[in-house]
Amino acid sequence: MPIRKYIPFGLQENTEHLLDIGRTIVEVDDIDVVLQTILEECVRVCNGTRGFLAIIDHDRGSMNVKYVTGPGWADDTKCALINVSEETGKGITGRVAATAESYMCNDTSKDPYYVELFDDVRSEMAVPLSDDVRTRGVLSIASTSENAFKSAHEYVVRNLCDMATTAMTLADYRRRERAIVRIGGELTGITERTEIIEKVLQITAEVLQFEDCSVFLADKDKKKLSLVASQGTMRDFVGRAEYEFGHGLTGCVAKDKKPLRLRYPHLDPRWSGWHGGMEPERISAFLAVPIFDRTGVAGVIRLQREQSKYPWFSNSYTAEDEKILTAVADRLGTALDNSALLDKLIESERMAAWGELSARSAHMIGNRVFAIKGDINEIEYVLGEENPDKEELNEILAGAKRGIFLLEEILNEFRMFVKADKVDKTRLDIGALLKETLGEFFGKRSGVKTSAEVPEEPVMISGDATKLKRVISELLENATNFLPADGEIKVTLTDGLGRDTARKPKKKVRAADYVRIRIADNGCGVREEDKENIFNPFFTSRAKGMGLGLPIVKGVIEAHDGVVYEDGKEGEGAVFNILLPK
């Protein structure tokens, strides 16, 4: 956006020129464009030769020259020299950052603070970018003329620096608001507690800088906090660090149900010593807020920063940082609450399913036992005759054996169903396992045409080989029962989901992180009205079978953090897809 020329200094007080900068701040979302524009305008209005804008990163405790204008800046060592001079307490930029006061040097040869960057500089003026809390940066203008800068220049540059500070504050606000919205959006649909916490840590790192961010969850019965996740120096303490409510700074946050923000926390009498790899005196900033669920304090999320290398400014957490972390904790608490409620719902549904399973199993087993008892009674009756018919006894005995065999089959199916989610994972080549299973299964069946597409290179996953072979065999068996005379089964293994997005796993992952096994046949397919029920226990369209085969398949695949679904068309054949994490 073009900025109009200023009225010459000293003629009259005029602030109309600031309106254009104000419009730039509001209309341009790119803070880099805004600050570069302000820097260039400051140099132009002061008739300067060159200039730079150094931004203080209070989160990291550093100061960096991010914007430059004018000739001679191609050499990056000049920016590095500015940073070094600031660390040692020298340089006009460092002095202005430390004092938050403007500084004007009209003869660099006699100035005690000046550090030479260019041999042609004779005058330098530096102005702080400060808000009500702290200095956010320093804008410096250099000139090749002595006595180049006047108070009127400083006045206008101060106004422009105030505008720059406003722009930075607005940009921070926008960035943090977007992050908070992201947390709410990305946590929607995530139900696993570990994944929820990892997502919160990831986004928090984008908004608030830290040496460590840790999440402690509460055992409300024991009044104790346990470290469950951490990014940073406390990572090695996960599963080991604990606080009782009221013990240590973190425990006090849980007990008092209030945020705690401190500078140099080791000086606080409540400090207990869990510093996570940092020497206590090096921790200069501490911020912890409680996590609430519907029943009370669910935990604490805590941030720690190491002391800045710059002794002349603080990198303590601010009230605004506290608001941000509180908003993060609120969304984390809601997500954990929803996860817990979902777990209870699933458990309730599981208990209801077990009730139905128990009733149905009792009925099926009871029928088998009743039939076997009948056979035994028949045997006793025949043996009670004077001349027992041996052929009749053998026939009754064969019926009893069939009953016992069916009973064992029922019990084995139940056992497989109950243990479907219990897997013993090892690293295996799913392609090799698939070929082996196909060979074993169809080696005994010559009437079915089969084809298999499996990558030549190994496709490695973490899985239970025995359970996965049972899954593949079950789906192949299921397919052969519905094949026509010219039946055909096609098996495909794809390394990565590719374009198959019909049923991705709940976790938000890249397609390349999963493999897909596709088993398709040319049978009658699954009726549309049955598709929602085929993985339910005891649902079957076969004359024989108990309807536990596909539920076992579903249980095994979900125990591998995968997904199984059917997406064939009725009349064109069934298509079962298995998605497994690599």
% helix / strand / coil in the chain, to the nearest 5? Answer: 45, 20, 35
One-letter amino acid at 496 equals G
Burial 229-264, CB ≥16 within 10 A → b, else e:
bbbbbbeebeeebbbebebbbbbbbbbeeebbbbbb
Q: Are residues 151 and 263 in the same domain?
A: no
One-letter amino acid at 33 equals V
Residue ending a domain, choose from 289, 309, 337? 337
Q: Are residues 467 and 556 in the same domain?
A: yes
- DSSP letters along 265-300, please? GGGSTT-----TTS-GGGEEEEEEEEEEETTEEEEE
C-alpha 326/C-alpha 329 separation (Å) is 5
Domain housing 348: 343-418
Q: Are residues 264 and 148 in the same domain?
A: no
Burial 292-311, CB ≥16 within 10 A → b, else e:
bbeeebbbbbbbbbbbbebe
Contact 239, 246 (CB under 8 A): no
Give me the sign of the Cα torsion angle 451, 455, 457, 459.
Answer: negative
Give me the sign of the Cα torsion angle 143, 148, 151, 155.
Answer: negative
C-alpha 117/C-alpha 329 separation (Å) is 47
Contact 203, 186 (CB under 8 A): yes
Assigned domain for 255 exists: yes
pLDDT at residue 1, rounded to an integer: 38
Q: Are residues 209 and 301 in the same domain?
A: yes
Q: Are residues 223 and 162 in the same domain?
A: no
C-alpha 563/C-alpha 554 separation (Å) is 8
pLDDT at residue 276, rounded to an integer: 59
Q: Are residues 317 and 233 in the same domain?
A: yes
3-state SS, residue 565 = strand
Both structure tokens of 202: 């990831």
What's phi and psi for 497, nearest 5 deg? -70, -20
Both structure tokens of 540: 């079957």
Structurally, how many domains does the chain consist of?
4
Assigned domain for 307 exists: yes
C-alpha 200/C-alpha 203 separation (Å) is 5
The pTM assigned to this predicted structure is 0.53
Q: What is the pLDDT along the chain (582 residues), one digit of tens a residue?
A: 344 444 444 434 445 556 666 676 667 778 898 899 899 989 988 999 999 998 887 656 567 888 999 998 876 655 655 554 555 556 888 888 888 899 999 999 998 888 888 889 999 999 999 887 678 889 999 999 999 999 889 988 998 898 898 888 888 778 777 777 776 676 666 667 787 888 888 878 877 878 888 899 988 777 889 888 888 888 888 888 888 898 889 899 999 999 999 988 888 888 887 655 677 778 888 999 999 988 888 899 998 888 776 666 667 888 888 888 988 888 888 888 777 776 676 566 666 666 666 666 666 677 677 777 887 888 888 787 878 888 888 888 887 787 787 777 666 666 666 666 677 888 889 988 888 888 877 765 556 777 888 888 888 888 888 889 888 888 888 888 878 777 888 888 988 765 555 555 544 445 557 889 999 888 888 888 777 777 776 666 655 556 677 888 888 888 888 888 888 888 888 899 999 888
pLDDT at residue 401, rounded to an integer: 81
Q: Are residues 150 and 199 in the same domain?
A: no
Would you put residue 539 in left (φ > 0), alpha (ψ -120 to 50) or beta?
Answer: beta
pLDDT at residue 260, rounded to an integer: 94
Q: Are residues 447 and 519 in the same domain?
A: yes
Would you put residue 71 in left (φ > 0), alpha (ψ -120 to 50) or beta?
Answer: beta
Contacts of 357 (CB under 8 A, 6+ apart): 414, 417, 537, 538
CATH number at residue 358: 1.10.287
Assigned domain for 214 exists: yes
In three-state form (DSSP H/G/I as H, E/B as E, the rest C), the secondary structure along 43-77 is: HHHCCCCEEEEEEEECCCCEEEEEEEECCCCCCCH
CATH number at residue 173: 3.30.450.40
Assigned domain for 160 exists: yes
Within 13 Å, how many C-alpha atoms sit on residue 99's CB side?
13
pLDDT at residue 7, rounded to an integer: 45
* R_g over Cα of the chain: 36
Residue ending a domain, choose from 275, 304, 337? 337
C-alpha 22/C-alpha 164 separation (Å) is 9
pLDDT at residue 363, rounded to an integer: 61
Residue ending a domain, choose from 337, 358, 381? 337
C-alpha 462/C-alpha 234 separation (Å) is 29
Assigned domain for 3 exists: no
Q: Are residues 157 and 35 in the same domain?
A: yes
Q: Are residues 76 and 216 in the same domain?
A: no
Assigned domain for 2 exists: no
Assigned domain for 167 exists: yes
Burial class (CB in 10 A: 0-12, 13-18, 19+), 344: exposed
Q: What is the DSSP letter of 257?
A: T
Helices (H) and strands (E) in the chain, counts: 12, 18
Q: Are residues 370 and 436 in the same domain?
A: no
Q: Comparing C-alpha atoms, which of 95, 557, 490, 536 is closest to residue 353?
A: 536
Q: Are residues 50 and 106 in the same domain?
A: yes
Assigned domain for 448 exists: yes
CATH number at residue 447: 3.30.565.10
